[in-house]
């Protein structure tokens, strides 16, 4: 089998986590009191992302506890990242902004009744068990009632600990979040920030008047003629499919075998593969239009490029649309070409047009009949060292929506990819069969 299948529900015993009262950690010194602008690229993805970092025994650093070290460093790093100490609110134009009040980030100290090893394979989403390692703000009815940064440090019997983060995607994308956590770690180790944040987001303001120069099908609502809502009433199963470098080479070889393409990347081939497999697994009607969405980093594609350390979202969603019949009756290379076309169309003008499209319409991308692929395969979250070495693992608590598939880097050289997804139980059986056929 090309992909090693792992069931995410592998944790044998239920863990108990006891948490103390949450603390508010304010910036170490005075910070600007202002209304902080969020760009239209930030507005589109205002969802809470929960991530956990896992650390071995904290014996290396004996001068202070992991919690106290992380708390002191958070206070100091918030001086640089002061919007994280504010609160989300709505502007008179009904857009998300941050009121930089300096109220502070939420930090919780907790203790688990087990060893880290008892968690099993933590690279897989498990909202029930892993969710205990990230603090939920009680009574929060919407994202405006959740501070931009909520953190929980959980100690384990073995001496190890976890850092569980809940952060709003409208604050930063994966690269921005990685740079923040790494800066936090550098501060804990007494080092200067290697990538100081560039706070000003006005460089991504819309044009006046807005100019919509490109079609933006990422916002298009597609009718679900296949009635997949009925299928999704089944139990939702989470699974992980593990692709080693040789497996990725095999997928690329399959994409190139008919000669329609000269070359393709692992991302392009794997994205096309799972788009087709998910379409087949959900048994979509032949005439069902299906949309693929994925983020492209626009930092280097903008003119001028975004500065290094840009604090906000620098990603833009791109898309490809095909019917189920087009995807399934054509070879893999057909879907790969669609993926390549979606990447190629992300230019400076496309990004500016997407910013202006939201300004003019206030629409958000629709997930109807859609697959949204998000990739963490290039993010060096393993660099988050608070003084006890790099984390032994990091990963999400859960997938934010049922339409989302996550590509997560794996292995020592991070050249392998874990494909994490959730599907209705009957569709997951079919998806697994299709993964096993690739050899």
What distances in angstroms separate CA 337 from CA 270, 272, 278, 330, one per listed residue? 12, 9, 18, 11
Catalytic residue among 80, 169, 216, 410: 169
Q: Give burial (CB, 10 Å; 0-12/13-18/19+) of 347.
A: middle
Between CA 229 and CA 282 the distance in angstroms is 11
Between CA 64 and CA 36 the distance in angstroms is 35
* Structure tokens belonging to residue 7: 């069931």
Does the annotation mark 217 as catalytic? no
Q: Is 255 strand, coil or helix?
A: helix
For residues 117, 122, 126, 130, the Cα torsion angle rounded to the nearest 10 degrees is: 60
CB atoms within 10 A of CB 202: 7
Between CA 420 and CA 396 the distance in angstroms is 10
Are 427 and 283 in contact, with CB atoms under 8 Å apart? yes
Does the annotation mark 356 as catalytic? no
* Structure tokens belonging to residue 159: 């001496």
What distances in angstroms separate CA 238 from CA 117, 322, 419, one per listed residue? 21, 26, 11
DSSP 278-292: HHHHTT--TT-EEEE
Which residues carry out catalysis?
A: 169, 385
């Amino acid at each position: 089998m090309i992909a090693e299948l792992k069931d995410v529900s592998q944790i044998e015993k239920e863990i108990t986590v006891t948490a103390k009262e949450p603390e508010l950690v304010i910036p170490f010194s005075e910070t600007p009191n202002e209304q902080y602008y969020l760009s239209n690229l930030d507005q589109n993805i205002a969802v809470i992302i929960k991530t956990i970092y896992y650390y071995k025994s904290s014996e290396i650093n004996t001068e202070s506890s992991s919690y106290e070290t992380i708390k002191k460093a958070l206070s100091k790093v918030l001086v640089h990242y002061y919007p994280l100490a504010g609160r989300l609110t709505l502007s008179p134009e009904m857009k998300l902004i941050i009121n930089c009040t300096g109220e502070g980030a939420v930090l919780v100290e907790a203790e688990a009744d087990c060893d880290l090893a008892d968690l099993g394979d933590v690279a897989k989403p498990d909202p029930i068990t892993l969710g205990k390692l990230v603090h939920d703000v009680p009574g929060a009815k919407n994202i405006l009632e959740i501070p931009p940064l909520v953190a929980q440090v959980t100690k384990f019997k073995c001496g190890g600990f976890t850092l569980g983060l809940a952060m709003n995607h409208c604050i930063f994308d994966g690269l921005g979040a990685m740079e923040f956590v790494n800066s936090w770690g550098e501060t804990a180790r007494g080092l200067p920030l290697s990538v100081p944040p560039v706070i000003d987001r006005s460089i991504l303001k819309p044009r006046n008047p807005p100019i919509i120069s490109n079609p933006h099908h990422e916002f298009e609502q597609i009718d679900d003629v296949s009635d997949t809502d009925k299928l999704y009433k089944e139990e939702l199963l989470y699974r992980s499919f593990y692709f080693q470098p040789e497996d990725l080479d095999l997928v690329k070889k399959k994409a190139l075998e008919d000669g329609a393409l000269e070359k393709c990347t692992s991302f392009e081939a794997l994205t096309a593969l799972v788009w087709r497999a998910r379409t087949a697994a959900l048994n979509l009607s032949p005439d069902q239009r299906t949309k693929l969405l994925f983020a492209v980093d626009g930092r280097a594609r903008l003119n001028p490029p975004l500065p290094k350390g840009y604090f906000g979202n620098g990603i833009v969603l791109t898309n490809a649309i095909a019917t189920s019949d087009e995807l399934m009756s054509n070879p893999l290379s057909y879907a790969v070409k669609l993926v390549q076309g979606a990447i190629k169309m992300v230019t400076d003008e496309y990004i500016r047009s997407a910013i202006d499209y939201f300004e003019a319409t206030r629409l958000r991308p629709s997930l109807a009949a859609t697959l949204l692929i998000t990739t963490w395969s290039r993010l060096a979250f393993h660099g988050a060292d608070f003084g006890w070495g790099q984390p032994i693992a990091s990963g999400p608590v859960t997938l934010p929506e049922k339409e989302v598939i996550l590509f997560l880097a794996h292995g020592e050289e991070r050249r392998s990819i874990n494909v994490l997804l959730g599907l209705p139980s009957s569709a997951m059986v079919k998806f697994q069969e299709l993964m096993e056929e690739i050899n």
